[in-house]
Amino acid sequence: MFTQLERDKNTNARNGIMHLPHGDVLTPAFMPVGTNGAVKALHHKSLKEMGYDLILGNTYHLYLRPGLDVIRNAGSLHDFTTWDKNILTDSGGFQVFSLSEFRKISEEGVKFRSHIDGSYHMFTPENVIEKQEVFRSDILMMLDVCTPPGIGEREAREALDITTRWAKRGTKRWHERIDGYDGKLFAIVQGNFYKELRKRSALELLELDTPGIAIGGLSVGETPAEFHEYLSYTAEFLPLEKPKYVMGIGTPDYILSAVENGIDIFDCVYPTRIARNGTAFTRDGLIMLKNAKHELSLLPLDPECNCPVCKKYTRSYIRHLVKAKEILAPMLVTEHNLYFLANMMEEIRESIKVGNFYLYKQNFLKRYKGL
């Protein structure tokens, strides 16, 4: 277990680079979600201009539509989507959690019904690796069982035991990859909200010596206090030298907590989802453009933001687009929200480089959350 001093030293000194097949990624890094091979309402060119060089694709959704044959025919997910930077693909494990009425978990894997046409499919630890091999993912994830807060310890332990056995099988299949494919496999720590299970999961998975490791099963409905507590506790068992990924976080406060605990990458649909509802990030917290107080506002979304949207458009105009349900509205707010996070990550990396991350975090949250 790392001491607090060691973790503090790591956070303040770290300005690491993650070396991946499609180019290096500066860390810490937020990863926009491109579920179906595209970040909703945003052109790839805009993502690149913001500095993003890693996005997430969803194995479950891409497997069902357009299907492996279509992507294989194109050559890879990079070729199919024309995104020439890095791609991380998840395993479908979260769909095991979120689509519980459509699935059945067994030792072999998870059998589920497609939400598209009701057809039955089977994900196993081995064929999930094979699917991501077809994608030529730069980072690929293990199949795991994610569990909700509030379940009993016995149920949590049984889910963890399956996750660990699946991880061993998936790692074996990853070592058998061919054709020069060099995607980096990440194991996923589970254990629900039981500290002994979290510790056990981390230590067992470290024995597999995968190139990276992820923390799963957080930001799934627990309280913020529980999130911060279990993130910090779990991170203590992860090695400093391996890239670390917390799955499913995308709010500034959660991102700052992850960075404080030595996490390198994180992802979430939150910034793009709230954009489609007319909600924008600002230095002083979220603004909801549907609120009447913005109707006559000639301010940009964030007066301190230098993104193309804030340089050109007013809150009044974008609110009009939101209310009129114009397609341009989610495009503009999405671009702003992802620019906001890209700029925040650049500031975080700089603060780590110069050794004042904790001051940066304190000042950011003081304004953002009014602390």
Residues making up the binding site for substrate: 90-94, 144, 190, 217
User: Residues at the annotated binding site for Zn(2+)?
Assistant: 305, 307, 310, 336
* Spatial contact of 247 and 211, defined as CB atoms under 8 Å apart: no
Residue 17 Cα distances to 23, 25, 75, angstroms: 10, 6, 27
Q: What does residue 114 show for φ and ψ, rounded to 5 degrees? A: -60, 135
Q: What does residue 204 show for φ and ψ, rounded to 5 degrees? A: -70, -40
Distance between CA 112 and CA 123 in Å, rounded? 8
Told to judge if 284 belongs to the known catalytic residues of this protein, a careful annotator would answer no
Fill in the DSSP letter of residue 33. Answer: B
Distance between CA 129 and CA 137 in Å, rounded? 10
| 225: exposed, middle or buried (Cβ count in 10 Å: 0-12, 13-18, 19+) | exposed
CA angle, 53 then 59 then 63, to 5°: 130
The tokens of 161 are what?
């035991």
Told to judge if 253 belongs to the known catalytic residues of this protein, a careful annotator would answer no
CA angle, 35 then 41 then 47, to 5°: 80
Distance between CA 60 and CA 64 in Å, rounded? 6
Helical (H) or strand (E) element with 120: strand 120-123
Pick from 238, 229, 233: nearest CA to 264? 238
The tokens of 262 are what?
């030595």
Distance between CA 56 and CA 44 in Å, rounded? 13
User: Residues at the annotated binding site?
Assistant: 90-94, 144, 190, 217, 305, 307, 310, 336
- Residue from 53, 138, 267, 302 carrying the catalytic annotation: 267
Distance between CA 337 and CA 33 in Å, rounded? 13
Q: Bridge partners of 111?
A: 104, 122
- Residue from 53, 90, 138, 302 carrying the catalytic annotation: 90
Catalytic positions: 90, 267
